[in-house]
Amino acid sequence: MSPPDPAPPASGSASASPAATGPATGGGFVGTREHVRGRSWPIRLLGWFSSVRSAALVISVIAAVISGATAYEAVYGRDVAAVVIYQSGWFAAIFVVLALNIFGAAAVRYPWRRHQIGFVLVHTGLLLLILGFFLAGNDRLDGALEAYPDKPAAVMALPQDQIIVEDTTRVAVRFQPIAFAGYPSFARFLLSPLWPIPGPGIHRLSRPATLLSGPDLPTVRVVSVCDTAHPEAAWVVGDAPGAAPAVRFALAVRTPMMPAGGDASAHWLSLAGERVLSLGPLMATLSSTTSTRMAEDFLAAEPTEAARGRVSLYWNDQKHVVDVAETLPQTVELAADLALTVSEYLPNPRVVGDRLTQDQESQSDPFITVSVGVGAGAARRWHPMKLSAYYLLPQLASDLPALMYDHPQQRRATVGAQGAFCQLLAGPAADGRLYLRWFTRSKGFGGAAAIDSLWSGDLVGGESTPMRVHADIAWLPRAVPGPEPVRMVPDRKDLAARWIEFEVERGAHRGRAWLARRSRTAVVLDDGSQVLLAYDKATYSLLDHHGFSLVLDRFDEGMDPGGQAAASYASEVRIVPMDAETRARLS
């Protein structure tokens, strides 16, 4: 960084100023620190930053950082590395120090001699390169333009996202979601061999990031981010309006054809969504109850001796039991304001159109049709419903009796019969637990469990059996639609969906909602009002901003010599100026 200086003046000649010629050292190279010795402290400080030793240190730091950044990019991808490392303030500060070193090495030698002109030009060129890198990284249009042959294309997809409040103002705000996605810092990444980094998931910001606010605008904040997730909505913990119990049901099957077992197949059940899950021979159903006593009886799973089964009603903290009679219809007065009528019994049902009929050739799968009468005398109202021994069907409204149907078939083992059933019952809100029991046609009753959060166990078979069906269940008492994280290799992250939880505040009222990119939803505030949000990639219109579009006339894909992969691309495009009609529309 420092050129050779001329030999000092001969003995007896007029002494030169240190500021002009530097110290007398007997000829040869004069280091920058020696060059500024005895001068003012700002010059000495600049000389310290501009020394060869400092330059070597800065260059070593840059080499080490870029090596680590390459490893970071291999793990998390180019876009994440750009945001976390290359566009960070500390990375820019390293090059500021390098620029200061380059500038100072030349500046402290001013006024320059003729033989130093090349040295100064080289340092000036290096400074211009650093300035160019800075401007290119912070003041450029960077995006992807999707073009089809013979069709004008003008809208670029930018490496950012945007949120749009779709009201009368239609305000759009661009932001960089990667900065909120919880990716580890560079220092944390370097410590990962000693301190492992958890896998991808939902990152909840310690302080929500405000994207939009104003006197006449709703306030929009980012609360949580899931950068890579399944496109389909799952369920996540939340207390937003509309929150409901949800169950994640993951099933792994091992058979003689798959002795090691296949990957667990995960599905969701929710009282606000899908309640029935069919996975080959297994049927899982979800229902709920407001009766603590019903939840206890469900878990106990006491057998019944009644040939046609037993109906249990739970109403006003009381339990009523009715054995299904041989002769139907059957009406039983249970209390002055409560009655039950059993009108149909189908031990071997078959679906015909939209109804069930008895078919002796069908497998045993007992169903009954009942009506619950609530109220006394003329005020009584009847509420019909169906009950099944193997399936939990939807209950009546929460202010009506809860019913449960048990049948001897649940305990009966039938050799060679196929089919497994899993019943999931969400207990009362005060209890906050999920109740589980399962059956198989070949073995009968399998077991029961109460789940506070997580449960794992075998529904069919076990370690020593030829066939094993293993379930992993996650219970969310209060959940809202949201993302299910998925691990992606860096160069395929675009195939996953990005989800963000937004919080909207208008006045004193708030609401939250998860949005997948390229979707829109109405965020319900706590006063019942709504704010419509649309979340998508940020775009830039060449037509709106610059008055032209591009037309792709030709696109060629060159193959490698073996014809196996694309090796080169060539295209021809035309720039099409804005026509008068479009100009009038925009103006």
Tens digits of per-residue pLDDT, 366-425? 999 999 999 998 999 999 999 999 999 888 888 899 999 999 999 988 887 888 999 999
- Tell me: cis bond preceding 111? Omega within 30 of 0 counts: yes
Q: Are strands 152-153 and 519-524 parallel, antiparallel or unpaired?
A: unpaired
Residues 336 and 474 sit within 8 Å (Cβ to Cβ): no
Closest CA to 481 of 271, 315, 222, 250: 271
Q: If DSSP codes are grouped into helix, strand and coil, which group holds residue 21?
A: helix
Extended strands (E) in 230-301: 234-237, 244-254, 265-270, 276-279, 282-288
Residues 6+ apart with CB under 8 A from 432: 452, 477
pLDDT at position 216: 85
Beta bridge mates, 454: 474
- 581 is written with which tokens? 């009609």
Q: What is the DSSP string of 306-365?
A: -TT-EEEEEETTEEEEEEPPSSSSEEEEEETTEEEEEEEEESSEEEETTEEEE-TTSPP-
| CA 517 – CA 520 distance, rounded (Å) | 8
Q: What is the DSSP string of 130-175?
A: HHHHHHHHHS----EE---BTSEE-EEEEEEEEEEE-SSS-EEEEE
Residues 6+ apart with CB under 8 A from 317: 293
| CA 512 – CA 81 distance, rounded (Å) | 30
Per-residue pLDDT of the chain (587 residues; tens, 9 = 90+): 555 555 444 444 443 444 444 444 444 556 666 666 666 667 777 767 777 788 889 999 999 999 999 999 999 999 999 999 999 999 999 999 998 888 887 777 777 788 878 888 988 898 898 888 887 766 678 888 888 888 889 999 999 999 999 876 789 999 999 999 999 999 999 999 999 998 889 999 999 999 999 888 999 999 999 999 999 889 998 887 778 999 999 988 876 665 555 556 789 999 988 999 998 778 999 999 999 999 999 999 999 999 999 999 999 889 999 999 999 999 999 999 999 999 999 999 998 888 889 888 888 889 999 999 999 989 999 999 999 999 998 888 888 999 999 999 999 888 878 889 999 999 998 889 999 999 998 889 999 999 999 999 998 887 777 778 889 999 999 999 999 999 998 888 888 999 999 999 998 999 999 999 999 999 999 898 999 999 999 999 998 888 899 988 888 877 766 666 666 778 888 888 877 555 555 44
- 288 is written with which tokens? 């709920």
Residues 6+ apart with CB under 8 A from 507: none
Closest CA to 334 of 319, 346, 349: 319
User: What is the Cα Rg of the chain in Å?
Assistant: 37
Q: Are strands 276-279 and 244-254 parallel, antiparallel or unpaired?
A: unpaired
Q: If DSSP codes are grouped into helix, strand and coil, which group holds residue 584?
A: helix
Q: Tokens 């106990």 sit at which residue?
A: 300
Q: What is the DSSP string of 289-300?
A: -S-HHHHHHHHH
pLDDT at position 262: 52
Residues 521 and 536 sit within 8 Å (Cβ to Cβ): no
Q: Tokens 């996650």 sit at which residue?
A: 474
Q: What is the pTM of this model?
A: 0.74
Closest CA to 511 of 499, 500, 503: 503
| CA 145 – CA 151 distance, rounded (Å) | 12
Q: Is 532 left (phi over 0), alpha (psi -120 to 50) or beta?
A: beta
| CA 435 – CA 427 distance, rounded (Å) | 7
Tens digits of per-residue pLDDT, 276-320? 999 877 899 999 999 999 999 999 999 999 999 999 999 988 999
Kindly report the backbone phi and psi dihedral angles of residue 253, in degrees, each rounded to the nearest multiple of 5, phi listed first.
-115, 130
| CA 434 – CA 456 distance, rounded (Å) | 13
Q: Where are the alpha helices (DSSP H) in 339-480?
A: none
